[in-house]
A and B are shown apart, each in its own frame.
Chain A
Amino acid sequence: MQSEIIIETRNLTKVYRDFWGRQKVRALKALDLEVRRGEIFGLLGPNGSGKTTTIKLLLGLLFPTTGQALVFDRDAREVTKNERIGYLPEESYLYRFLNAEETLDFYGRLFNMSRAVRRQRVADLIEMVGLDWAKRRQLKEYSKGMTRRIGLAQALINDPELIVLDEPTTGLDPIGTREMKDLIIKLRDEGKTVLLCSHLLADVQDVCDRIAILYQGELKEMGRVDSLLKVQDVTEIRVAGLSAIGQEEVKQAIERNNGHVLNIGNPTTTLEDLFLKIIRESEEHPGRRVRGVGEKT
Chain B
Amino acid sequence: MVIDITDVTPLFTWLLGPEWTEGRLFHPLSLTVFLLLLIAGLLWLVVRLRKGHGSTGRGAAMAIGGGSAAAIVLVALGIIAWKLLLLGKAEEIAWTLPLANFAEGLRNSCFKGLQWLLGSGWHQGALYCWFLVIISAAAAVFVVGGLAAALRRGPIKALETSGRAIGDCALDVVRISPRRVGALAWLAVKESIRRRVVVVFAVFILILLFAGWYLDPGNIDPARLYLNFVLTTTGYLVILLVLFLSSLSLPADIKSRTLHTIVTKPVRSSEVVLGRIAGFTAVATCLLLIMGVISYFFVERGLAHTHEIDADSLKTVEYAVGRPTGRQGVTTLVHEHRHKVVVDPSGNGRVEIEQGHRHELEGDWKELLSKESAGKKYQLGRPEGMLLARVPVYGKLAYRDRKGEPTDKGINVGDEWTYRSYIEGGSLAAAVWTFQGITEERFSDGLPVDMTLGIFRTHKGDIEKGVTGSLLLRNPRAGADVKPTEVQIFESKEFQIDNRLIPREVRTPDGKKVDLFKEFVSDGEVEIWLRCVDMAQYFGVAQADMYLRAHNAPFAWNFAKGYFGIWLLGLLVIALGVLFSTFLSAPVAVLATFGALLGGLFHDFMFRLATHQTYGGGPLESFVRILTQQNVTSEMEPGLRTTLVQTLDQPAKFGLWLLAAVLPDLSRFNVFSKCVAYGFNIPGDTILTYTCRTFAFVLPLFVAAYLCLKNREVAR
Contact = CB atoms under 8 A, between A and B. Distances in A.
B537 to A, nearest CB: 68
Q: Determine the interface band of chain B, counting residues with CB < 8 A from chain A.
A: 20 to 34
B418 interface: no
A93 B266 contact: no
B194 A62 contact: no
A83 B53 CA distance: 11
B264 A62 contact: no
Contacts of B186: 106
A275 interface: no
Given A74-B54, A78-B55, A97 B263 contact: no
Contacts of A142: none
Interface in B214-273: 256-268
A93 B258 contact: yes
B283 to A, nearest CB: 15
Contacts of A78: 54-55
Contact of B713 (A62, A80, A154): A62
A94 B191 CA distance: 12
Contacts of A38: none
Contacts of A176: none
B257 A89 contact: yes
A106 B183 contact: yes
Interface stretch (B174-182, B306-314, B635-643): B174-182
Nearest to A92: B261
B715 A56 contact: yes
Contacts of A91: 257
Given A61-B260, A80-B54, A112 B715 contact: no
B716 interface: yes
Nearest to A95: B258
B715 A107 contact: no
Contacts of A60: 263-264
B208 interface: no
- Most interface-central of B177, B194, B715 (chain A CB within 10 A): B715
B18 to A, nearest CB: 54
Given A109-B180, A109-B183, A93 B261 contact: yes
Contact of B190 (A56, A74, A97, A154): A97
B260 A97 contact: no
A163 to B, nearest CB: 12
Q: Determine the interface band of chain A, counting residues with CB < 8 A from chain B.
A: 20 to 34
A82 B54 contact: no
A63 B265 contact: no
A264 interface: no
B187 interface: yes
A59 B264 contact: yes
A59 B259 CA distance: 13
A61 B254 CA distance: 11
B714 interface: yes
A85 B54 contact: no
B553 to A, nearest CB: 42
Interface string A40-68: 00000000000000001001111100000
B45 to A, nearest CB: 19
A93 B713 contact: no
B55 A109 contact: no
24 contacts: A61-B263, A62-B713, A75-B55, A78-B54, A79-B266, A80-B53, A80-B55, A82-B267, A89-B257, A93-B257, A93-B261, A94-B261, A97-B190, A97-B194, A106-B186, A107-B261, A109-B180, A110-B183, A110-B184, A110-B262, A110-B267, A111-B265, A111-B266, A112-B179
Given A74-B55, A83-B266, A94-B258, 14 more contacts: A62-B716, A74-B54, A79-B172, A80-B55, A85-B264, A87-B260, A95-B190, A109-B180, A109-B183, A111-B265, A111-B266, A112-B177, A112-B179, A112-B266
